């Protein structure tokens, strides 16, 4: 449990019985949905869901995950919740030795945020092959994403 401003936050990994709530939270906030096999971390304030992070296994890689989505409800932004959630994820994955690094794609305006959270900008050639192909496809569709990596 963490105290931020006047918020008391609880961080956890999602359980199977929370999936319905997660899907509705994401839909209500008009953001990407989640799948049952995603690794999902949650942030709650007074038992209400306020933020999520989705990580996916990367095809062909046993030691890396892809941070596919990080979302904080609008009314809870600017409280450093996203940074705290990333720190919780990094610590949990490191302690449990689940991965060596996390890859992420981010819009250019989020560069400072990710650099503050110890992500490094990398060349797409350093991505696992399946993830590199997703990045190339996104670029071909006009996305101006940064390619990032966080070693654990």
Nearest alpha carbon to residue 34 among 25, 45, 47:
25
Q: How far apart are CA 148 and CA 66, in angstroms?
A: 10
- Distances from the Cα of 131 to the Cα of 43, 92, 105, 148, angstroms: 27, 23, 10, 12
Q: Which two tokens stand for residue 54?
A: 């989705």
Residue 117 pLDDT: 98
- Distances from the Cα of 103 to the Cα of 4, 16, 76, 134, 137, angstroms: 27, 25, 25, 12, 16
Residue 3 pLDDT: 58
- What pLDDT digit, counting tens, does each position of 13-67 carry? 999 999 999 999 999 999 888 988 899 999 999 999 999 999 999 998 888 999 9
Residue 4 pLDDT: 59
Q: How far apart are CA 90 and CA 150, in angstroms?
A: 9
pTM of the model as a whole = 0.92
Q: How far apart are CA 152 and CA 149, in angstroms?
A: 10
Residue 96 pLDDT: 87
C-beta separation of 2 from 12 below 8 A: no
Q: How far apart are CA 43 and CA 47, in angstroms?
A: 9
Q: Which two tokens stand for residue 147?
A: 């390619």
């Amino acid at each position: 449990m963490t105290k931020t401003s006047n918020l008391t936050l609880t961080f956890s990994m999602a359980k199977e019985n929370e999936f319905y709530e997660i899907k509705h939270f994401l839909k209500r906030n008009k953001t990407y949905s989640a799948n049952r096999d995603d690794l999902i971390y949650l942030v709650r304030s007074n038992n209400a869901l306020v933020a999520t992070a989705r990580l996916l296994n990367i095809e062909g890689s046993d030691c890396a995950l892809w941070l596919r989505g990080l979302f904080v409800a609008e009314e809870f932004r600017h409280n450093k919740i996203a940074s705290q959630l990333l720190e919780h994820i990094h610590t949990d994955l490191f302690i449990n030795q689940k991965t060596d690094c996390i890859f992420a794609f981010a819009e250019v305006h989020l560069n400072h945020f990710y650099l503050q959270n110890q992500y490094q900008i990398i060349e797409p050639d350093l991505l696992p092959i399946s993830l590199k192909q997703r990045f190339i496809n996104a670029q071909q569709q006009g996305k101006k994403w940064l390619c990032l990596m966080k070693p654990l």
